[in-house]
Amino acid sequence: MSSFFSFSQLQILSFSNNVISVHLKAMYLLCIILMAFDPTEGQTAKLVINASRSSGMQIPDTFMGVFFEEINHAGAGGLWAELVNNRGFEAEGEKVPSSLHPWEVIGDKPAIVVSIDQTSVFQRNRNALRMEVHCDHSSSCLPDGVGISNPGFWGMNIEKGKKYKVVFYVRSTEGIDLKVSFVGTNGGKLASSEISGVGVNASTWRRVERVLEATETNHYSSLQITATGKGTVWLDQVSAMPLDTYKGHGFRMDLFQMVAELKPRVFRFPGGCYVEGNVLKNAFQWKQTVGPWENRRGHYGDIWDYWTDDGFGFFEGLQLAEDLNALPIWVFNNGISHSEQVNVSAISPFVQDALDGIEFAIGSPTSRWGSIRASMGHPQPFNLKYLAVGNEDCQNNLIPIYQGNYPVFYEAIKRVYPDIQIITNCDASKQPLTHPADLYDYHHYSLTANDMFHKAEDFDHASRTGPKAFVSEYALIKEDAGNGTLLAAVAEAGFLIGLEKNSDVVSMVNYAPLFVNTNDRKWTPDAIVFDSHQVYGIPSYWLIKLFKESSGATFLNSTLQTDSPTLAASAISWKSSVDGTSILRIKVANLDKKAVIIEISIEGLESSVSFSKLTKTVLTSSNPMDENSFSEPNKVVPKESLIQNAGKIINVHIDPVSVTSFDFNM
């Protein structure tokens, strides 16, 4: 509620004396006055900003970034637009017979018998599906035949007028005709294509590719491959991808756009705990994820408990960083998983693996690993400048092992690639490192909003010399955060404002995690929520957008005078890349349930400087625990308004539990 009432509010008192008495008018006026000066709005504060050219410090260009991990099905079926789940029938790994899940059989025995054997043409993933068809048009086959069906990742989004490329490998003992179709939840065909006489020689595999154009829309479709003639058919590596991925690079367009709108300057990948694995054989192994997708083994991500086909691999992570115009930060395994460790005496293969990975990313297209990158369509090197040696490994009983292994990686990499920036897992915010590093990794997940709001104070007393901090994972979690509340976003705003103030020692910042498929939440909250066809950002996502211009901006000296421990503010300035206009942005985070009247005073500007426009942007809602959803994706999003005739001193209203941004065009 505003602290002032307008003349228009008093006009309601002009009723005729025949309707309302003078005494009632007076009582009504008193009520309005009492409401206008609601005690919940009694707080005041003053923010003094020095906007002179000599004031402030440069925030690093790399300040705001994003972190991608294969968690919550963020990759395949998510940002990686593959529609088929378990496309190579490998989902049980070395177990034979492997699990068909989520494939289903169309038809009953004895008309069709389906099994898995290890006769695939691909040596690195030997499982293939064997389909024995014992019926035909004249003997108990279903009208559209028998076969197999894949529902994708909780439904395939097939849209009218769009095209989809279906690829699979097949061989058969007879010249059996097949049909590949997208089928809606009501059983209707959305698109289909017939494949005649798929084979005459059991030892010959054939690659089949079809582009299907949908005639109808169904967001929860499935892919079917069926036959109506007797014989035995083997199938392997069944893939379906929309043709409208970003630049044809395989990234789902709406999810890519959500990330791109954050304007990240750095891109950390592929994890996270995903890099470590619970056991080392299930850790992310980059060499198994490059080259043709058909030859990728895939692996069981035992930390997050699901199989991934590694369609989103090392190359795709580097490509995504490039497409986002962000610097890639590769996190690699240093011989440590959650339950197994390799000590320094046996670490050499892991060191060589890291060196080979660097060569893949930035080596000559004629080098051993650079040539594989070139064969994948990227002869030019990627812009890899940062490496993180492990993830969360310098803690508890792992510290001696990590500190024994780390120097071997550091020395080997610096010897060959002296300009590469190396990030240690050991935290140097409270005490100096015992080994060399260019940056140190800092993770923080708060359990309460108040703790999150103030956590950046850790860096107030951090050493101003030595390696800088990379805050590669942060978020408010548990009860205060829900699945992504306004309260969490405001708490994180206080944290980010604190990091801006300490950006002389904090170089990079990432929220975590980035994505979640709402059908299988392994972790919550997550910045971007999606299913087969929908997407929305939680309030924390919209908060990050309010900080995206901080990268490379000038942090201005300012003083906040307040008695409230839950009020934080900062000021930055930068020049617009569009028209060169100078912009001054003030951000105020108010975690309190009471509103604040804040006087903002801008000093140090030349007398000729005036404000051509003042835009006020507010992230708030009626309830601190409000969340966005598919039904209400914009329930908690920033709302803009213009303030006319702004001067160098203004008094502004700050809502309870809110983040407010003021942009001055100068």
- List the 515-517 sheet strands across, edge first: 515-517, 528-530, 535-537
Domain with CATH 3.20.20.80 in the chain: 76-81+245-423
Q: Which CATH number fits domain 76-81+245-423: 1.10.10.60, 3.40.190.10, 3.40.30.10, 3.20.20.80?
A: 3.20.20.80
Domain with CATH 2.60.120.260 in the chain: 104-242
Q: Hey, which residues does 575 pair with through a beta bridge?
A: 582
Per-residue pLDDT, 608: 56
Nearest to 323 by CA among 368, 269, 389: 269
Which residue matches tokens 């910045």?
Answer: 527
Alpha helices in 345-448 (DSSP H): 348-362, 368-375, 399-416
DSSP collapsed to 3 states, 607-639: CCCCCCEEEEEEECCCCCCCECCCCCCCCCCCE
Q: Give residue 64's identity as a one-letter amino acid code.
A: M
Q: Which fold has domain 104-242?
A: Jelly Rolls (2.60.120)
Contacts 24+ apart (CB under 8 A), 188-195: 188/216, 188/218, 190/158, 190/214, 190/215, 190/216, 190/217, 190/218, 190/221, 191/158, 191/164, 191/215, 193/166, 195/170
Give CA 211 to chain center in angstroms.
30
Q: Which parts of the chain have pLDDT scores under 70?
A: 1-42, 92-98, 138-140, 199-202, 607-612, 645-646
Which two structure tokens, joined as six digits, stand for 553?
């901006």
Contact assessment for residue 147 and residue 106, using Cβ atoms and an 8 Å cutoff:
yes
Q: Hey, which residues does 370 pair with through a beta bridge?
A: none
Per-residue pLDDT, 200: 56
Nearest to 636 by CA among 522, 545, 573: 545
Task: Kindly report, residue by residue over 582-610, the tens digit of the pLDDT.
Answer: 899 999 999 999 999 999 999 988 765 66
Per-residue pLDDT, 228: 86
CA distance 497 to 490: 11
What is the enclosing helix (H) or strand (E) of 164?
Answer: strand 163-172
Q: Hey, which residues does 418 pair with through a beta bridge?
A: none
**Backbone dihedral region of 657: left (phi > 0), alpha (psi from -120 to 50 degrees) or beta?**
left
Which residue matches tokens 């994948």?
Answer: 376
CA distance 309 to 92: 11
Per-residue pLDDT, 99: 76
Phi, psi at 479, each rounded to 5° = -60, -45
Domain with CATH 2.60.40.1180 in the chain: 43-60+556-665
Q: Give CA separation, 617 vs 570, 637, 654, 662, in Å.
A: 15, 10, 11, 6
Task: Kindly report, residue by residue over 280-332, the tens digit of the pLDDT.
Answer: 999 999 999 999 999 998 999 999 999 999 999 999 999 999 999 999 999 99
The CB-side HSE value for 474 (13 A sphere, CA atoms) comes to 30
Q: What is the DSSP string of 118-133?
A: S--S-TTS--EEEEEE
Give CA 295 to chain center in angstroms.
27
Per-residue pLDDT, 578: 80
Enter the DSSP assignment of 270: S
Non-local CB neighbours of 481 within 8 Å, separated by 6+ positions: 475, 487, 488, 524, 525
CA distance 73 to 308: 9
The CATH number of the structural domain formed by 43-60+556-665 is 2.60.40.1180
Alpha helices in 535-657 (DSSP H): 539-547
The CB-side HSE value for 485 (13 A sphere, CA atoms) comes to 19
Per-residue pLDDT, 643: 80
This prediction has a pTM of 0.92
E strands in 439-579: 439-446, 468-476, 506-511, 515-517, 528-530, 535-537, 554-555, 558-561, 567-575
